[in-house]
Amino acid sequence: MNRIGIIGAMEEEVAILKEKMTEVSVLERAGMEFFSGRLSGHEVVVVRSGIGKVNAGICTQILADKFEVEAVINTGIAGSLKAEINIGDIVLSTDTMQHDVDAREFGYAIGQIPRMDTLTFPADEGLRSLAVRVCREVNPDIQVFEGRVASGDQFVADHGTKEKIIQNTEGFCTEMEGAAIGQAAYLNKLPYLVIRAISDKADDSAHMDYPTFEKEAIRHSVRLVEGMMKAL
């Protein structure tokens, strides 16, 4: 792959990667700073998208149009939707789905965007298999899971909401950007992968767990992205 786009929603999720880049140039678009350069010998564009699906979708489209990236990796944190996925563990997207889209009145399933030909947005199997192997090497003390990432413009912090998302999506984790990146990648025919380190359990304990474990989770996901760049 000649050029890879790497997206993080928050500055903390991309700052370490930016520090390790060389031959850097910066371009601002839509209030986002796109850092072009090299990381572990590969041409990359690293960017903080901002939080939420709209920011993430805009960011991915700019990467496709302006920078002509050949793949997109989204690194970040999420809330677990499965009891066996613990804080600090990694989820790699098999696909992504928007849990807060509801057009059932028109005969669509929850999560399906009207007049789109797919309910979910499949992630790239090659990137995911590479990530599984690398994650076990660079993060040997945690578990790595492969499953659906459920996205919505909502920080999930109560048990009732969590259970509805599980029922509607069969997701492995929930966050606020992945499916928008997946949708934009799908429309642009770009391979993509969402990497999520678990920061909380997406339930009534989330308000306490998130600030406590956010930095640890970010370290795991950033270490994985850097490892992938070295292994490509």
Q: Tell me the catalytic residues.
A: 13, 200
Rounded-to-integer distance, Cα 150 and Cα 78, Å: 10
Structure token digits, residue 111: 């999560």
* Short-list 78, 76, 92, 80, CA closest to 124: 92
Is 28:34 a contact under the CB 8 Å cutoff? Answer: yes
Collapse the DSSP code of 32 into the 3-class scheme (helix H, G, I; strand E, B; otherwise coil) and give the result.
Answer: strand
Instruction: Give one DSSP letter per residue of 55-98, joined into a string.
Output: HHHHHHHHHHHTS--SEEEEEEEEEE-STTS-TT-EEEEEEEEE
For residues 133-172, one letter each, b for 16 or more C-beta atoms within 10 angstroms of the residue's C-beta and e for the rest, the string is ebbeebbeebebbbbbbbbbeebbbeeebbeebbebbebb
